[in-house]
Structure 1
């Protein structure tokens, strides 16, 4: 059930400039209406709900105090930005979020001048913000100008080392830079009017140094439940140096913790910082993820990512499942392997639910590790475990594994350590768009010496590849699988290790051979059925391995067919490139073989449904059929191959 909320004040706000004449009480009412609009919109589109609900007051306060877009506001991770989009001229399109041709679920530079920097991966805001601050001070944008720079970093983003590298540099440069730590992992009590009033007077009148000290000492004036949350927050940021905090040791003026849902506190602090700060400042705001929507507050993930839902009940509208998800198949397969092998461990980087390792953690809590948003650490952590005799599985989304590539090369591959990489979300992922597409992992892993690289054609193959990776104990390995449900094949009870570097011949034909790597196999069979109506019966094979290649199978296909076409869900430079290299080395092209490689196009594909994205990529069954007809010299209409 979709309900459009009553939003008389929000209806008058087209851009942040419309907010700057409102009273503080009106801004509080605006936040209430903005929260209702966000819930209503996401109920229709699905998406990241909880993070945005946690920053509603913060969003209103920042835009009311600062002069965006001249003042640069950077969200990190930017799935917090839905309320921001509503306030910055995009309300009319907010119900197109994550749909084809609609608004991105993240900030996007090409979408609005209010989005100065895209941030769909975490922990980048302070680095980018410092860059803006330097550009401002060196006159890098004289026509448009840059004012203040505000970075809102939260939802786990401070667990990545890059944030601290940036803070260290910012503290050294002493540039005016405002960082707001959106700390949504602390439990706080509802705001109290007396405390809000006291802090408003305190912050408005004190010199900046006294203002910072008073903010620290104000904890004792809070009611007991609030005090506990504030103390825990303060302990989180204490430095090992007596009398200081980690942020101050890095050169930042530290203000907080403050209640991120109390408009009075937020406005007072932001106004004071805007007037008086002369270097880098960190404001520590305590918020609740999912704030103001009971179903999100009750959910274990606080409404982090939802399908469409009923606003009244919170019940999500998910299509019935016809097959288990690849993620669940991976998790259950790994659990079965771990039951037989006590050396198997599992590591993820802040995505236990997304990778299925929450199920593994329930069964083996002492053998499962969530390291936070720290992919570089995750990879080297696994390398250390492998060097110590364990069998680690490093479960990451393809797009996030990119963040740890140097560690994959130097800490794992170079030392030939048997770390097993379970690469979820391989290929095009739909609504999250190009920032989350798993386009490049085959290309960037298969070029590493002695790396075993596999791709599952279906959920049964994934079970066997988990077993294969577990059995590889002399070198690193990786297996990739897509997002979503499997294709409904019969499932094995247990996985059987595959012969390394051996593919499988699925169907013999003649004339043209189709060599699959990954989850396009079903599309290939659909294309083959259509081709048979034209008198073309292609041979179909599944490579299973991009490295090592099944040389015998590939050369057999090349020597006994007029044409060979490889199909994969990856970028140029992946499986097809390795096959082409083999064929060139063997001189196969000298004998007239027609070779084509169907890969993702050399562009970033905007968010849409997966089927639509694969249509744009020309990797669906009709595209495979068309490629065969083109290569074989057959007109698409009427003609048949002799």
Structure 2
């Protein structure tokens, strides 16, 4: 918290050209910069670096298709380590594998060029051979997808051989056209545990670097609970399929992928395709369960609307990493899904607060609903509240005889609300807690029916942005005072979840302090 971002961030350094965090966008941004350079008659080089994993995202091909015919001098470096986060999948991976086996071609070319340079007339001979080489290349290395898009293809080259890489970079720098340099690397190179288990070390919590093991044993989390529950259902129901976008491990689907391989689909970094494909599966009578991080689900909003919701198809979205995620910062926090999911007609949105509720809501979503359903849950484990209250759309989880304030929340935030109520009780302030289990288009009716039972003062606590949140709906339904505690209409810094909670004023102590500082409360509160 307060330190340097793990991603590029222009506000931190002039050497960071743009914000990064999600995949597949570098060529698009780079082409825009190249166009700006031309329009302003400036002279500088534009280089986009993109991983082979990010190349499984459709946005990359939209950009390559446009950039290759743009005529703009632009270098795209394809960092090919045969990994995205999980093992790469799809036709592109097979295409790149074929290109990799021809790396010896470049070594031969370099040796011939060096020898010709030593003899008289070698330059002219080199140019003549280059023309022959182009023909030979099409035989030895079949025309690449990138060349068909308009790029001059260089490579593949060993990315750990700096001399070879620098030679090709120098060659690319002289070309006044779109060039793609294919660089082969090893993910995790230089650290044995990461070389052996690259997926596990893609992103790490604190760990013992010498031993290569986590600093502390991992606790059960919502992702694991989701994966275990889905396997239980799939064992008895052959209609159930699972879809993810390059995140089988992160979403808890590794076991499902092993046990039900024919019903598991990892589409690569292609969330739009994942949701549209789920629509096709649902239309033909299966029950697709799409597991995506909240921050990546943003990419598939159009498909949710156009392909799923309009046709009222039974697609189950399991929205992992909802709310505050922590250290990955502004690009990864799941603080927008409540706003955009609630805006889609006919889409149910469930918010489990613990593992028991997640299991119950998954069962309901799969077996009792007939249209699109989203289940949003946080990163990490459950808190102190472990009752299964999922049967009702709203529940009274902490009652008081004469409440002075009502706390309204949902999901994992119920733990902060209950803890805040306990702190307030120590100061003689009676606070009740209400918990929503559904936050979709039915919320307005639910709150209208419940508002009259609440205290005159209601504080709504959410770990999402203010706009489009439940708090705004409650403000329209409650006749008394309503205060909203949320992440605000802003992008958040990175840091641990507790630190970001405190930063936003939605941790238990901050909630209690906010209420105690209110001038209408008793002397104990003001003290």
TM-score normalised per structure 2: 0.87
Of 366-375 and 456-465, more deviation after overlay is shown by: 456-465
Q: 2:182 aligns with which of 284, 306, 312?
A: 284
Deviation of 1:474 (Å): 2.0
- Structure 1 residue 625 corresponds to structure 2 residue 512: yes
Contact 1:107–1:117 at 8 Å: present in 2 too?
Answer: yes
Q: What are the Cα deviations for residues 522-567 of structure 1, in whole angstroms up to 9, with x where unaligned?
A: 1111111111122222221211111222745653343442112221
- Structure 1 residue 180 corresponds to structure 2 residue 77: yes
Equivalent position of 1:565 in the other structure: 459
- Structure 1 residue 253 corresponds to structure 2 residue 152: yes
In 2: Cα distance, 1:456 partner to 1:363 partner: 26
- Structure 1 residue 385 corresponds to structure 2 residue 281: yes
For 1:438-449, what aligned pairs fall within 5 Å after superposition? 438-449=334-345
Deviation of 1:209 (Å): 9.6
Q: C-alpha root-mean-square deviation of aligned residues, in Å?
A: 2.9
- Structure 1 residue 613 corresponds to structure 2 residue 500: yes
In 2: Cα distance, 1:530 partner to 1:303 partner: 40
Equivalent position of 2:92 in the other structure: none
Contact 1:184–1:286 at 8 Å: present in 2 too?
Answer: yes
**Superposed structure 1 runs of 4+ greater than 4 Å apart:** 186-189, 191-197, 202-220, 488-492, 635-640
For 1:344-423, what aligned pairs fall within 5 Å after superposition? 344-423=240-319
Contact 2:383–2:412 at 8 Å: present in 1 too?
Answer: no
Of 128-137 and 449-458, more deviation after overlay is shown by: 449-458
Task: Give the SS at the match of 2:186.
Answer: coil
Where structure 1 has 5 or more consecutive residues not aligned to the other structure, the ranges are 1-99, 221-230, 235-242
* Alignment CA distance shift 1:531-1:404 (3 Å): same
In 1: Cα distance, 2:327 partner to 2:109 partner: 40
In 2: Cα distance, 1:108 partner to 1:162 partner: 21
Equivalent position of 1:452 in the other structure: 348
Deviation of 1:210 (Å): 6.0
In 1: Cα distance, 2:343 partner to 2:474 partner: 13
Task: Give the SS at the match of 1:352.
Answer: coil
Contact 1:399–1:435 at 8 Å: present in 2 too?
Answer: yes
Deviation of 1:414 (Å): 1.3
- Structure 1 residue 305 corresponds to structure 2 residue 203: yes
* Alignment CA distance shift 1:563-1:273 (3 Å): same
Task: Give the SS at the match of 1:545.
Answer: coil
Where structure 2 has 5 or more consecutive residues not aligned to the other structure, the ranges are 83-95, 118-122
In 2: Cα distance, 1:370 partner to 1:565 partner: 41
- Structure 1 residue 114 corresponds to structure 2 residue 15: yes
Deviation of 1:202 (Å): 8.3
TM-score normalised per structure 1: 0.72
Equivalent position of 1:544 in the other structure: 437
Q: 1:576 aligns with which of 468, 471, 489?
A: 471
For 1:93-492, what aligned pairs fall within 5 Å after superposition? 100-139=1-40, 147-185=44-82, 198=111, 201=114, 214=133, 244-275=143-174, 277-299=175-197, 301=199, 303-317=201-215, 319-321=216-218, 323-487=219-383
Deviation of 1:172 (Å): 2.3
Give the length in aligned residue pairs.
Answer: 500
Contact 2:158–2:165 at 8 Å: present in 1 too?
Answer: yes
Deviation of 1:211 (Å): 5.4
Equivalent position of 1:530 in the other structure: 423
In 2: Cα distance, 1:507 partner to 1:470 partner: 30
Of 354-363 and 571-580, more deviation after overlay is shown by: 571-580
